[in-house]
Amino acid sequence: MSLRIFYSPIFREHRPEGYHPENPTRLDYAIRGLSENGLWDEEKILEPSPASPSDLLLIHDGEYVERIRGLEGSFSYLDPDTYVSPGTWEAALSAVGAARAAVEAAVEDRGLYLALVRPPGHHAGRSGRAFNASTLGFCIFNNSAFAAYTLKERRGRAVVIDFDAHHGNGTQEIFWNDGDVVHIDLHERDIYPWSGYEHDIGGRGAEGSKVNLPMPHYSTDDDYILAWMEIVLPVLEETKPDAVVVSAGFDGFLGESLTTLRLTERFFRYAGATLSRYPLAVIFEGGYSVGLMRALPAFVKGYLEGSVEERGIEPSYEAIRTVKTVLEIQREFWGI
């Protein structure tokens, strides 16, 4: 399996004034983790071309796009969580372009194509804040949604798997009424953005295309592996996608500070290995410290090596109950 990374120094130009968890240091952590595992090689790095403002209109409303463009060259806060700096506009356009390049390469050449981008995007809906979210959650434009739109245009259908610790509410909102985009989302229950519950299955005519797994607080590898085995892999097998968009957040790793999840390298290696039969466009979302140094390379190595560790699991009662509920709801739409 091949690995290529779409990356540009321009992603560092989206930067806060003072402390903010979403800052350029995140890229340092990610690159350090990849380098220490022999996965960062200059020959693997590809410079992405930026998307155009008109490209953004495929997933966002023009008024929202113009609002972001109008802040170019200045620093301000869109909301209490989300800032715009002088370099944000160009960085965000390049992030969307990298997501498009990753999915196009995955379709054409197979392998894993990582869009190591900032600013992140999966909380950004068509007009900014999505559903009942109070903020944009550090996001500007929805890179994963644009990758999914590109995949759908090329192949007629798209699959997005989002394992960021927070629900990808923006992605879900953008494709809520689109049954041709299957969105599978594992996330911690009852935290920001307070959406993505079991009965959120898609709008009229798209029911079953949205598969949400709101996992219990303090979920472990065993809990996530259960959900992955029972729901994620069977839905993928039934869908038979030509490529998969992965909205990849690593903030559920034990030691990250924004959630209570207790995942380790084991789950991320397992997830990567079980996806090794599919070409992947991996779009960087959350993760702020140790998760980037340990979970990101574990996921990539799992994919490249393709071997699944044979070992029993002991999921919690709460995780079993969550998975059972999702199975009962989704069996109307899937053979699971």
CA distance 294 to 63: 39
Of all helices (H) and strands (E), which one includes residue 67?
Answer: helix 62-70
Report yes or no: 256 and 221 within 8 Å, Cβ to Cβ.
no
Query: CA-CA distance, 71 to 62, in Å (whole number)?
Result: 14
Count the helix, strand and coil residues of the chain and give each as a percent rounded to the nearest 5.
Answer: 40, 15, 45
Contacts of 226 (CB under 8 A, 6+ apart): 313, 315, 319, 320, 323
Active-site residue, from 123, 166, 183, 187:
123
DSSP 229: I
* Alpha carbon distance 136, 140 (integer Å): 7
319 CB contacts (<8 Å, ≥6 apart)?
Answer: 215, 216, 219, 222, 223, 226, 227
Which two structure tokens, joined as six digits, stand for 160?
Answer: 């997005």
Contacts of 252 (CB under 8 A, 6+ apart): 163, 164, 165, 188, 219, 224, 259, 261, 263, 291, 295
The C-alpha atoms of residue 116 and residue 176 are separated, in whole angstroms, by 26
Rounded Cα distance between 97 and 117, Å, is 10
263 strand-pairing partners: 253
Residue 123 appears among annotated catalytic residues:
yes
| Closest by CA position to 336, among listed 249, 181, 240, 231 | 231
Which backbone phi and psi does 193 adopt, to 5 degrees?
-100, 25
Active-site residue numbers?
123
